[in-house]
A and B are shown apart, each in its own frame.
Chain A
C-alpha cells in the first residue's frame, strides 16, 4: 500500500508486552522448527555438515527466531490482525544463545477505506554463552489492523 493511501491518525494501541527472554536455545529448538516448517537444510542440525561449510556448530534457521518474534507480536496485537510482516536477517543464532524479543509502535493511521492500522518495529537480540555484548539477530517491521474497541 502506498503512503498516499494512508491517513495519519492518533489511535490507541495496546501497550507492548514486557521484553521476552527465550532460551538458552538448543539444537532441539532448531530441529523442531525445521520439522514444523519443512526447511530441512542440514547446516542447521548436522554437526559435520556445518563444520565442513566453515561454521563451528550448526546454527538456527533464521525463520525460527523470526517466528518467535511473530509469537510476541501476535500476542500483543492479535493473530488475525496481521497484514504485513517483513524480516531482515542480521546475525546468526547459535546453540546456547539467549534471545531477547521486544517491539515498539512506529505510527498509527487509517487506510483509504478507514481501517485503523498500526506499524510496529520488532527485534530479536542474541547473546552467546560467553556473555558478551548482545547483537541484533533479526529486525521485523509489521502492520496490524487495530481493534476499535481497544
Chain B
C-alpha cells in the first residue's frame, strides 16, 4: 500500500549530463531519423529524453521508493515534460532534484480504491535557471492491473 507520509520527501540533488551519444541512442530507440537529433554537435534532446535521469539518480537522490507503491498493482498513469525554452542540448550538465509532490485516491471504474502519486523533478542549468520539469504520475490499483486495465 502506498505510503502517504512519503509526500514532501525531497531527494538529494544530482547531476545529469546531456550527451550527443545518448541523444542518438534515444532517438534511434524511438524510431526518429530527425537530423536535429542525429547530426551536428550540440543536438537538441527529444521531448521524453529526460527519462534518462534513471541513469543518474541513485540512493537518496531518488525518493520514489519511499512511496512503497505495490509492484504487482502499480502502473504508470501519466508523464509530463515542461520546458522553459528549448529542450536541453548535448553538452549541457543539469542539476536535478526530485520530490514526492502529491498523493490522492479515487474510486476505480470497477470498484476498489485507486491511489495516485506524483513525483516532480526540477532540472536547472549551471546558472541555476529552471530549464525543465518532469512530473511522473503512478497509480496503485485495488487489484492487479492484469485484471483492472487502467483507463
Contact = CB atoms under 8 A, between A and B. Distances in A.
Interface string A31-65: 01101111100000000000001110000001110
A82 B87 contact: yes
A74 B26 CA distance: 14
A66 B80 CA distance: 11
Given A70-B48, A87-B78, A89-B77, A80 B36 contact: yes
A75 interface: yes
Contact of B82 (A37, A54, A63, A83): A83
Interface residues of B, number: 40
A39 B54 contact: yes
Contact of B48 (A35, A54, A66, A89): A66
Range for the number of chain A residues in contact with chain B: 35 or more
Given A53-B146, A54-B144, A79-B36, A71 B27 contact: yes
Interface string B82-94: 1110110000000
A142 B47 contact: yes
Interface in A73-93: 73-75, 78-92
Given A83-B83, A86-B80, A38 B47 contact: no
A22 interface: yes
Contacts of A54: 72, 144, 146-147
Nearest to B35: A79
B149 interface: yes
Interface in B94-132: none
Contacts, number: 118
B116 to A, nearest CB: 12
A70 B72 CA distance: 28
Given A79-B36, A89-B76, A35 B25 contact: yes
A85 B146 contact: no
Contact of B77 (A32, A64, A73, A88): A88
Contacts of A70: 30, 32, 46-48
Given A37-B51, A82-B81, 14 more contacts: A29-B29, A32-B29, A36-B30, A62-B76, A62-B79, A63-B79, A67-B30, A74-B34, A80-B87, A82-B83, A85-B47, A87-B48, A90-B151, A91-B149
